[in-house]
Structure 1
Amino acid sequence: MQKQWIDISQPLNSRIAHWPGDVPFSYSLSVTKEQTGSVNIGTITTSLHTGTHIDAPFHFDSKAPSVLDLDLSIFIGKARVIDVSHLQEINAEQMAAFPLEGAERLLLKTASASSPEIFPDKVTPLSTDLASLFKKHNICLIGVDVPSVDVPDSKEVAVHHAFYQHGVHILENIVLDHAPPGDYQLIALPLPLEGADGSPVRAVLRPLEAGTGKEETQ
């Protein structure tokens, strides 16, 4: 029997934190079963960057691909969880000390992770030199447990740009509390939003057997 999937998504509800100035998440019933005689129908409003989500390059480059242009294989496949919570900043020299060979996708557990209901006033900074290191190891996706790979007050979003220029895509606001360091199968598919700058995802992991690339059984 295969091990169960681990949900690494933030639950979307009225309490979830959102970027200051962005549209907060809201769900409500447009009509009820009592009104229609048959079904409840709900409506949501939200920024595409609330909760667990991917950034399309169009988010920070108006000439770059939007969500529907992205290859779905980026968001499905082997991923490695690495605990960097002891680091005050994360740069290429520090990351080179971790096992990156064959990672394909990298999910970072940082010291700055907080409650989904609290928007952090600071995050562990990532350096732009990580982009070339990740490209060297053929890493196509970087995931972080905070709202952004750049510090929240950044206007240049240099880390976003560096990752895009090196073929590294971005997954943000993941929850790694129940995912120990190791290799996993990741599914984090965006919605098929034409022309969109990002998308909420339901991100899940399933452990892989050490050194085999096969899903663990129990």
Structure 2
Amino acid sequence: MPKRRLWDLSPPVSADAPIFPGDQPFALEWTARRSPQCPVNLSAVTTSPHVGAHADAPLHYADGAPAIDAVDLDAYLGPCRVIHAIGVGALIRPEHLAHASVDLPPRVLVRTAQQADRVWREDFTAYAPETLAWLAERGVRLVGIDTASVDPAISKTLDAHQQLRAHDLRVLENLVLDEVPEGDYELIALPLRWVGACASPVRAVLRSLE
């Protein structure tokens, strides 16, 4: 059987990884190094769970909603479609996705840029709230994007996140879709079981169907 191709959708996570202003940057320190007295290297990590490719929990945008350890894992694993909406401007609208909307699988990732951002920028592309409702009406359970958020950076009302809540959609942000053609794949992007956390890092990959 031929080996199925994998696409790694996860950007490198380091101290240089872009973050929202005011968020906790990634930092790694060594708490032990191998020596005659110590048989192992041990590191400790401090980070926001929103650094790199990550899954937001409903708790991130609604008090009292489930934390990431309580969400159903089903949404993060299974048939997925990548749709290109490159250079569409500030918001992804239904008409930008309509060309690939026939028989949508339960998971949709949208590529908005030729190359995912390697540094923080405020003018990234986000989802129009009505687009998330439109996808949910077509049976979509998880959405993803190759930018920092489904909402614009300056939003205070987080209208797109509230559409996620209203339709019980799961979400992946900060994906790298630079090398992924439009089409259908298998998505594997399981969040960690971080108890009480508002999000989790994921090692997101797509696998070819053949």
Shift of 1:6: 1.3
Equivalent pair of 1:114/1:120 in contact (CA under 8 Å): no
Shift of 1:35: 6.7
Shift of 1:61: 0.2
Counterpart-to-counterpart distance in 2, 1:57 and 1:124 = 21
Shift of 1:3: 1.9
Q: 1:31 to 1:106 in 2, by over 3 A?
A: same
Aligned alpha-carbon RMSD (Å): 1.6
- Secondary structure at the residue paired with 1:97? helix
Counterpart-to-counterpart distance in 2, 1:130 and 1:115 = 23
Alignment of 1:14-163 (within 5 A): 14-34=15-35, 36-88=37-89, 89-111=91-113, 114-116=116-118, 118-163=119-164
Equivalent pair of 1:100/1:137 in contact (CA under 8 Å): no
Q: Which runs of 5+ in 1 are unaligned?
A: 209-215
Equivalent pair of 1:25/1:50 in contact (CA under 8 Å): yes
The amino acid across from 2:71 in the alignment is L
The amino acid across from 2:113 in the alignment is A
Q: 1:10 to 1:26 in 2, by over 3 A?
A: same
Percent identity for Structure 1 against Structure 2? 36
In the TM superposition, structure 1's runs of 4+ consecutive aligned residues that sit over 4 Å from their partners are: none
Counterpart-to-counterpart distance in 2, 1:159 and 1:193 = 24
User: Could you say which residue in structure 1 is the equivalent of 2:8?
Assistant: 7
Equivalent pair of 1:112/1:122 in contact (CA under 8 Å): no
Shift of 1:37: 2.4
Counterpart-to-counterpart distance in 2, 1:167 and 1:112 = 30
Most deviating of 165-174 and 89-98:
89-98
Counterpart-to-counterpart distance in 1, 2:155 and 2:44 = 32
Counterpart-to-counterpart distance in 2, 1:162 and 1:66 = 17
- Secondary structure at the residue paired with 1:42? strand
Shift of 1:133: 1.2
Q: How far does the alpha carbon of each residue in 1:143-197 deviate from its partner, in whole angstroms, 9 at most, with x for none?
A: 1001100001111111001122112211000001121111111111111011110
Q: 1:195 to 1:11 in 2, by over 3 A?
A: same
User: Could you say which residue in structure 1 is the equivalent of 2:207?
Assistant: 206
Shift of 1:201: 0.5
- Secondary structure at the residue paired with 1:142? strand
Q: 1:56 to 1:45 in 2, by over 3 A?
A: same
Find out whether 1:192 has 2:193 as its counterpart. yes
Q: Which runs of 5+ in 2 are unaligned?
A: none
Shift of 1:55: 0.4
Most deviating of 150-159 and 83-92:
83-92
The amino acid across from 2:180 in the alignment is A
> TM-score scaled by structure 2?
0.93
